[in-house]
Chain A
Amino acid sequence: MSGAADVPGGADRVPGGTDWPLWEVFVRPRRGLAHTHAGSLHAPDAELALRNARDLYTRRGEGVSIWVVPATEILASSPEERDPFFAPAADKPYRHPTFYEVPEGVRSL
């Protein structure tokens, strides 16, 4: 495991430089839908991150709610771990309904 999903600029960021911290932005497109990742931005604090996110990612009414998260706070599975990490899911076809045989004509199953 290691930090910041899409962001070598986040968890793996080299300290120093003059940029404000990086924030990841999640937007709920409309009621009934989950927040989804829209992108990232720089802001000095959470409040301005939220305002900047509104100006950057919802100029055309693309959202009804926004989350901003410091990029460094995101924990991500890393690609190097990809196979072993997700391997337990690969050999269990019986978790899918298509694994089972059902006689023809049986309904609502």
Chain B
Amino acid sequence: MHEGVYREFEETIAAGERIEPRDAMPPEYRATLIRQIAQHAHSEIIGMQPEANWITRAPSLRRKAILIAKVQDEAGHGLYLYGAAETLGARRDELLDRLHAGRQKYSSIFNYPTLTWADVGAIGWLVDGAAIVNQVPLCRCSYGPYARAMTRICKEESFHQRQGYELLLALSHGTEEQHEMAQDAVNRWWWPSLMMFGPPDGESPRTERSMAWKIKRHTNDELRQRFVDIVVPQAASLGLTLPDPLLRWNEERGHHDFGPIDWAEFHAVLRGEGPCNAQRLGQRRRAHEEGAWVREAAAAYAARHAARPAGRAA
């Protein structure tokens, strides 16, 4: 039955063209995308928390303005993605309900704490850097609205990564104490950043199907390797080291070898046992509940003024 109903879908995918919202698509394709896009959107808005933690304590007005702009961008990225999920028939309020109930996940990276100012730099450089490596191929994803949202997001992410790099560069070349602070932040964020690419290829059950549908263009391990190869020379330029004694260039492979990742830690954080899981979700629920009166008031105001015409198109 699939062959008949979804032949056009299969042909569109095979031709490398995009699927658009009202096209017929297999229910599994739709469900996979909703899950992936929602998880991605949740990650963006939960990701506002660890960095917002430092807005009031940014060391200068320049750094503060940058950090506020970055956190605002993350909110915007969440909205682009919720919008993309809605084109598949998902409802934004339901997706948020699922996040709040713990039924949908967000990236495990945001369950680590931001202990010092240098963590803001490490997040920008490593976490956003890893996100970019993950997200650039998604700009060519087979689902049109998701690809378009990712194009917009990737443009904005490069500012995020650069401000993090510049922040760490300043600390690294500052006092001895500042240098140590930068190194400590990189030491703590390095391994969780590598985990952002997800489980190794053999243990990533959905990869094969997502690649066949051209939702995903590269495997987790391919992207992880790409990230390591990009970051190693950048670390050297920062005057910082990466906390992996096995990290070295492999002439034969043309890539860097690196040490084993602690997947037990990854799965524990995913299960909710990370240092900040409860805090992040608690804060999100609280913000949503405390904003309820604003949403209700705006809706009531809109209902009362419904008859009044808005501005003319021009």
**Residue positions of A touching B, CB distance < 8 A:** 5-9, 12, 14, 17-20, 22, 39-42, 44-48, 50, 55-56, 59-60, 65, 67, 76, 78-79
Contacts and interface: CB of A to CB of B under 8 A. Distances in A.
Contacts of A19: 91-93
Nearest to B23: A79
Nearest to A26: B313
Contacts of B306: 45
A65 to B, nearest CB: 7
A44 B301 contact: yes
B305 A45 contact: yes
Given A19-B93, A39-B149, A45-B301, A79 B20 contact: yes
Contacts of A45: 298, 301-302, 305-306, 310
Nearest to A12: B89
Given A20-B302, A39-B149, A59-B73, 10 more contacts: A6-B21, A6-B145, A9-B92, A19-B91, A44-B298, A44-B299, A45-B305, A47-B310, A48-B302, A59-B72
Interface of B is mostly: helix
Nearest to B297: A44
A65 B148 CA distance: 21
A18 B93 contact: yes
Interface stretch (B55-63, B75-83, B133-141): B75-83
Nearest to A65: B314
29 contacts: A6-B20, A6-B87, A7-B21, A8-B22, A9-B92, A12-B89, A17-B93, A17-B94, A19-B91, A19-B92, A20-B299, A22-B86, A39-B148, A39-B149, A40-B83, A41-B83, A42-B92, A44-B299, A45-B305, A45-B310, A46-B310, A50-B310, A56-B80, A59-B72, A59-B76, A78-B22, A79-B20, A79-B22, A79-B24
Given A44-B302, A47-B310, A8 B83 contact: no
B89 A20 contact: no
Contacts of A17: 91, 93-94
A18 B295 contact: yes
A8 B88 contact: yes
A91 to B, nearest CB: 21
Given A6-B20, A39-B83, A79-B24, A20 B313 contact: no
Interface in B275-314: 295, 298-299, 301-302, 305-306, 310-311, 313-314
A78 B148 CA distance: 20
Q: How large is the interface on B (under 10, 10 to 19, 20 to 34, 35 or more residues)?
A: 35 or more
B305 A8 contact: no
Contacts of A76: 22
Contact of A9 (B20, B91, B149): B91
Interface in B33-84: 69, 72-73, 76, 79-80, 83
A76 B23 CA distance: 13
Contacts of A40: 83, 86-87
Among B69, B76, B86, B145, chain A packs the most CB atoms within 10 A around the CB of B86
A46 B308 CA distance: 10
A16 to B, nearest CB: 9
A9 to B, nearest CB: 4
A9 B298 CA distance: 20
B22 A9 contact: no
Contacts of A47: 310
Contacts of B152: 39
B21 to A, nearest CB: 5
Nearest to B92: A19
Contacts of A67: 313
Contacts of A42: 92
Contacts of A20: 295, 298-299, 302
Given A20-B295, A39-B149, A40-B83, A9 B23 contact: no
A40 B86 CA distance: 9
Nearest to B313: A67
